[in-house]
Structure 1
Amino acid sequence: MCTLRGAIAAAKELINEAIAEKLDIKNFSSSNAFRVTDLGCSIGPNTFLAVQNIIDAVELKYQSQGHSTPEFQVFFNDHALNDFNTLFSSIPPSREEILCSRRAGSPAWNKGRIHYSNASPKVFESYAAQYAKDIECFLNARAQEVVNGGLMAIIVPCRPNGLPQKVDTFNLPLYFASPQEEEAAVERNGCFRLEKMEILPQEKPTGNFSRGKVLSSQVRAGMEGMFKNHFGEEIIDEFFDSFHKKLDELSEFESGNGGSLFILLKRIATI
């Protein structure tokens, strides 16, 4: 253990020296973000210590040359089978506070919310940009599987064109694209032709089930594990009960806005 600690301390010193003497921040000073990648992070907590050392050294470099501290983005990379939930659950509370405080300076910091509802334009733009990347990846993958002339039908959640969706700190990875956005994504991809797109009629909930209750149940079915890992199992029932009540308060769910979008695509031959 002493040998390992000694090695870590020596590595930290070398990293500090390298950043202080060799890093030319003039190449980065105009950028909004400074990115750090750990290639081979495994799932232990040591990676957070290493990254923190790098961030501290870079901050000192910026400050010593009279530059404001940039936003830091950290990427953890390793085998696909690694349990990255375990990695992030191992963040020590002290480090979590530091990481969160640094993120709070970002214009896309989504304090007090788990989605992009009523958030700043930067938060909404971040969700939209990520969705555009994800749908592009999805279409490219399907284009490898569908023969030329083959059809693919998709049903996705949607919102009306031009109307930001009203949904409520740990940011749900959900984005309700508009038909216009879906059409633009298909055109950018270039592997499919849009044959048909139609918003499906919403069935009115029966019995004691409101629209908010139905949507809350759907979210719970797909993401309960994520909520448990983040908030703890003991509050799950109360959490989703509050969630569905909040949804019922939103005008979209009462007026019928939003819903599901049926998309029919035809694979076209590409060069």
Structure 2
Amino acid sequence: MGMDAVNVLHMNSGDGESSYANNSLVQETVLREAQPVLRQTIKDIAKSDDMFGQCFKIADLGCSSGPNTLLTASNIIDMVHEASKENNRKTPQFQVCLNDLYGNDFNSVFESLPTFLAKLKEEKGESFGPCFVSAVPGSFYDRLFPDDSLHLVHSSYSLHWLSQVPKGLEKNTSHIYVARTSPTEVFEAYQKQYATDFTMFLQARAKELVPGGRMVLTLMGRKLSDLAIDDCGVGWEVLAQTLLDMAKQGLVKESDVDSFNMPYYNPCEDEIRDVIEKEGSFSLDVVSTFRGNWDALDKDYTSTKASSELSIRHGKNTAKMVRACLEPLLAIHFGSSVIDKLFENYGKRVAEHLAVEKTRHYNIAISLTKK
């Protein structure tokens, strides 16, 4: 995949069965889990006079489309309103800037705006706000806003996507991400690409935030610094195995599997800290971590494996979620005719895996202040 992820990476649009709008419960669960970090950050902001002036400017980076897009804005507005009341201040006006890549389904976001704004008026009263919403398409690894124009930057479940597939992965055959048997240069290439991208992200935001401005970022990470023994890549291994099975059946080319790699990386906490310290514009205030099941409808966190009956359901749900995020990327590389079969098989393989071991996502939420 030589092309930039920027042009092809977007979630499935519309509201069909495999649309992101109908398969984004994992992301919603993560938003809810990270709320305490966001709430504390907004409480801190509320203590400063400059921040809650005339207009509070928020950017949600990697907003995607579907029910979660305005959920974040709505949560932030509620929290700011609450914090203003606690500090006996008038609630400021709001400017919410929704950002995602050019292929994002912004139209469906705009269609849900009238309901969103009407609900705000109804809940908060006529004198509240007003709230202005705009879309800012583009990659958040570049500049998106004028200097010193934002008070709060929020991003959930977007920063594990890289700006491109790392260079130098030729030897990563039969894998689509870092696997236990990947050569060390594959791990190093991913690490390097992540450090480059996250540095660019911080540099751009450092210019766009006002002094003392805050960021709350949540992403998929990993617990152990050794990627080879951490389980964060297991889901991609299962997908690679599914593709290799299909290559054996002649449904996809083996050379296509060998040349496909994910523009994605799970950093560990040390890597995140390291980039923040080296870049130097931000101080890291809070780090919070939590686990999530592959299938967001699976609320069982005590079992280490799923019963075979349940694992089939979890497999199907996981496959739907992954499809909603990856279909555009996979269709360009392998052709759209194999997608249905691929995810049907992937769901079965996930079910087999979860019946043996319930692997979970490891999520990291951080709060930063611009120095």
Is the 2:222–2:268 Cα contact (8 Å) retained in structure 1?
yes
- Which residue in the other structure is 2:282 paired with? 192
CA shift at 1:184, angstroms?
A: 0.9
Measure the CA separation in 1 of the matches of 2:353 and 2:186.
20
1:150 is paired with a residue whose SS is: strand
Measure the CA separation in 2 of the matches of 1:213 and 1:259.
21
Which amino acid in 2 is paired with 1:161? L
* Structure 1 position 141 matched with structure 2 position 231: no
* Structure 1 position 235 matched with structure 2 position 235: no
Measure the CA separation in 2 of the matches of 1:255 and 1:266.
36
- Which residue in the other structure is 1:92 paired with? none
Q: Give the aligned length.
A: 162
Unaligned runs of at least 5 residues, structure 1: 1-80, 82-105
Of Structure 1 and Structure 2, which has the larger fraction of its residues in helix? 1
- Which residue in the other structure is 1:174 paired with? 264
Share of identical aligned residues, percent?
A: 29
Which amino acid in 2 is paired with 1:173? P
CA shift at 1:214, angstroms?
A: 5.1
CA shift at 1:143, angstroms?
A: 1.1
Is the 1:158–1:261 Cα contact (8 Å) retained in structure 2?
yes
Measure the CA separation in 1 of the matches of 2:353 and 2:184.
19
CA shift at 1:215, angstroms?
A: 5.0
Measure the CA separation in 1 of the matches of 2:331 and 2:225.
34
- Which residue in the other structure is 1:263 paired with? 366
- Which residue in the other structure is 1:160 paired with? 223
Which amino acid in 1 is paired with 2:288? E
Larger Rg: 1
1:161 is paired with a residue whose SS is: coil
- Which residue in the other structure is 1:226 paired with? 329
Which amino acid in 2 is paired with 1:190? G
Which amino acid in 2 is paired with 1:219? V
Measure the CA separation in 1 of the matches of 2:370 and 2:278.
14
Which amino acid in 1 is paired with 2:192? A
CA shift at 1:160, angstroms?
A: 0.7
User: Could you tell me the TM-score, scaled by structure 1's length?
Assistant: 0.52
Which amino acid in 1 is paired with 2:202? L
Is the 1:155–1:263 Cα contact (8 Å) retained in structure 2?
yes
**Shift in CA distance, 117/215, structure 1 to aligned 2, threshold 3 Å:** farther
**Shift in CA distance, 156/266, structure 1 to aligned 2, threshold 3 Å:** same
Unaligned runs of at least 5 residues, structure 2: 1-101, 103-167, 238-257, 299-309
Is the 2:313–2:351 Cα contact (8 Å) retained in structure 1?
no
Measure the CA separation in 1 of the matches of 2:353 and 2:194.
23
Measure the CA separation in 1 of the matches of 2:184 and 2:348.
26
CA shift at 1:148, angstroms?
A: 1.2
Q: CA RMSD in A?
A: 2.7
Q: Determine which of 105, 115, 122 is the counterpart of 2:185.
A: 122
CA shift at 1:162, angstroms?
A: 2.1
Is the 1:192–1:267 Cα contact (8 Å) retained in structure 2?
yes
User: Could you tell me the TM-score, scaled by structure 2's length?
Assistant: 0.39
Is the 1:108–1:120 Cα contact (8 Å) retained in structure 2?
no
CA shift at 1:218, angstroms?
A: 3.7
Measure the CA separation in 2 of the matches of 1:249 and 1:184.
37
Is the 2:224–2:268 Cα contact (8 Å) retained in structure 1?
yes
**Shift in CA distance, 223/255, structure 1 to aligned 2, threshold 3 Å:** closer
- Which residue in the other structure is 2:195 paired with? 132
Measure the CA separation in 2 of the matches of 1:185 and 1:248.
37
Which amino acid in 2 is paired with 1:182? I
- Which residue in the other structure is 2:173 paired with? 111
Which amino acid in 2 is paired with 1:148? P
CA shift at 1:144, angstroms?
A: 1.5
CA shift at 1:114, angstroms?
A: 1.3
Is the 1:160–1:258 Cα contact (8 Å) retained in structure 2?
no
Which amino acid in 2 is paired with 1:267? K
Residues 135-168 of structure 1, C-alpha deviations (whole Å, 9 max, x = no match): 1111111111111111100011011122414332
Is the 1:108–1:122 Cα contact (8 Å) retained in structure 2?
no
Is the 1:143–1:191 Cα contact (8 Å) retained in structure 2?
yes
Q: Is 198-207 or 219-228 further displaced after alignment? A: 198-207
Measure the CA separation in 1 of the matches of 2:203 and 2:169.
31
Q: Is 140-149 or 242-251 further displaced after alignment? A: 242-251
* Structure 1 position 150 matched with structure 2 position 213: yes
